[in-house]
Chains A and B, each alone.
Chain A
Amino acid sequence: MRRPDGELILLWTLPVVAIIWISAFFLFPGFLHPMSPTMSAAEVANFYQDETARIRYSMILFNWFGVGLIPIVVLLAMQIRRMAHRTPILSYSLIACAGGPPTIFLIANMFWLLAAFRPERAPELTQLLNDLAWLTFTILVPYLIAQCLLLALAIFWDQQDQPVFKPWVAYFNLLIAVALAPAAFTALASTGPFAWDGLLSFWVKNTAIAVWIIVMGVVLGQNIRQQRAQDLMADQVAA
């Protein structure tokens, strides 16, 4: 078994995990028509009392598969290692980023599950857990932004005849980084595009993450397959 074979297996976990993420996303009752930050404590408490089961099962799914992104980021770090750089700093940076988003997401995930665990508690407390969950979920962008920017920089610096990634991948990553940034400012407003259910903080941010995962998955797949073909050729030449 060659190295790219194993990498290909890891990559093929991505569509599987992505399908689970999407199902969990639609299963969670608070994502389509995202819950508004202007909901009163009583409304929030009612929501958790009425929808307990769907909240629990969707969040348990997220709890299982939230970390599924890490192998993909590490695969990207491996591609950076193939680039024409003199130091491993950029691939180290990507590895240092890899754990961040799932960790932050898991914190949000736990708050949602906690809120649904005893929905009959005082509404104020349920609202607190709901705020903690939503704000944490919305501001999980810092490492994703850093990943995109670092990857773009790595591609710009990959000055060789056959670069590992094509230049458009770098520009694509810059675009995604820009799309993710507004979500960090979500706490400034409870209505409008910056609110956690608003256009920028919810729709643009989550779409950007989804598009990034799909596009980078495809690009990674092409790269790894190319590597595998080159390996096979090298073996044949050697034989």
Chain B
Amino acid sequence: MSASTTAPMTMTDPPTGSRMERFVWNCRYHPKRELWFAWWVMVIFYNLYGVLFFFVTHVQPPPSPAWDTPTVVQWFDDNGSGVIAGFAIVFVIAGLCAPMNALLAYSMRRMSVSPVFAYSYLIIYALAAVPGMLVMAMAMTVAAFRPDRDPEIIQWLYDFAFLSFSGTMGVFMIGSLVWMVAILIDKNRVFPKWFGYFSLCNALTEVVVAPAWIFQRGAFAWNGAIAWWINMVVFVSYTAVFIVLLRRMIEREDFGTGPLPELEAAR
């Protein structure tokens, strides 16, 4: 392939000027700019996700599956505009998942394991956004879009939204297990082993959500103490932990500031 692509990148020392100048320099020339970009996208994505799902659309913590039809319609009357506006922003930002998954896949490329792990994870999580977020957003939007619809249909959309969101857990379970195996057999110590075991915990809590398909009330329903609250605690701590661990991984990366290493794709 072409040899012209390996032109050296001109690297200078960061300027000593104002904070703004340094920030701009870092954005353009910092050797780890791609990693930090993906990391910050991840942090921003999860924050937006939390704000949009908990405070704008009010779909988290989830309303009850035990409600009768008039109550569900009433819920849409109360929250309809928040649902539409919040999910509209979700539709704009959902693509932020991509750099985030790319960073997780990259972490696996740094390990002493086959690239199969990174690519599997990338594809699994690229798929995960559809049942994990977008189907729910679409069903809720459609339900809120025409509040004068037949109440039975509104309730069907409500069930569709929450069950697709809570009940589709296989992608996350298999994804966590792929990551777990990669971490446990990795010799480069990109992640600590305990995080591998923690991934197992996370995968097991995904199993626990399955009864949401079966129960309309109680601890195992989609808003239940076991199927939602305990899982949410595990998921939030898992996410917080891997955000911190990825930050440490990026800090440890030693790219130097010299010319680029030969582009692997071209060879």
Chain B's interface: helix, strand, loop or mixed, by majority? Answer: helix
Of A78, A92, A162, A181, which contacts B122 at CB under 8 A?
Answer: A92
Chain A CB within 10 Å, residue with most, of B28, B89, B125, B260: B260
Contact A86 B101 (CB under 8 A): no
Q: Within residues 121 to 167 of chain B, which ones have a CB less than 8 A from any CB in chain A?
A: 122-123, 125-127, 129-130, 134-135, 137-139, 141-142, 144-146, 149-150, 153, 157
Q: Within residues 185 to 220 of chain A, which ones have a CB less than 8 A from any CB in chain B?
A: 185-188, 190
Contact A160 B91 (CB under 8 A): no
Contact B101 A187 (CB under 8 A): no
Contact B5 A82 (CB under 8 A): yes
- Number of B interface residues in the complex (CB < 8 A): 66
A142: nearest chain-B partner, CB-CB: B94
Chain B: minimal CB distance from A69 (Å): 15
Say if the beta carbon of B20 comes within 8 Å of chain A: no
A184: nearest chain-B partner, CB-CB: B91
Chain A: minimal CB distance from B136 (Å): 12
What CA separation (Å) do A132 and B153 show in the bound complex?
12
With A187-B84, A234-B3 known as contacts, the answer to whether A135 contacts B99 (CB < 8 A) is no
What CA separation (Å) do A90 and B103 show in the bound complex?
9
Contact A100 B126 (CB under 8 A): yes
Contact A159 B9 (CB under 8 A): yes
What CA separation (Å) do A92 and B109 show in the bound complex?
11
What CA separation (Å) do A93 and B38 show in the bound complex?
9
With A128-B149, A153-B37 known as contacts, the answer to whether A86 contacts B255 (CB < 8 A) is yes
Residues from chain B with a CB closer than 8 A to the CB of A161 are 4, 7
Say if the beta carbon of A27 comes within 8 Å of chain B: no
Residue ranges of A at the interface with B (Cβ–Cβ < 8 Å): 3, 37, 78, 81-100, 103-104, 107, 124-125, 127-128, 131-132, 135-136, 139, 141-147, 149-150, 153, 156-157, 159-162, 164, 181, 184-188, 190, 227, 230-231, 234
Give me 17 other A-B pairs in contact (C-beta within 8 A), A81-B266, A128-B157 excluded: A78-B265, A83-B5, A89-B35, A89-B38, A90-B99, A92-B122, A93-B99, A97-B95, A98-B126, A99-B126, A99-B127, A143-B94, A185-B85, A187-B84, A187-B87, A227-B1, A230-B1
24 pairs from A and B in contact (CB 8 Å cutoff): A82-B1, A86-B260, A86-B261, A88-B264, A90-B102, A91-B265, A92-B102, A95-B126, A96-B102, A97-B126, A99-B126, A104-B130, A136-B138, A139-B138, A142-B95, A146-B98, A149-B95, A160-B7, A160-B9, A161-B7, A187-B141, A188-B85, A227-B1, A230-B2
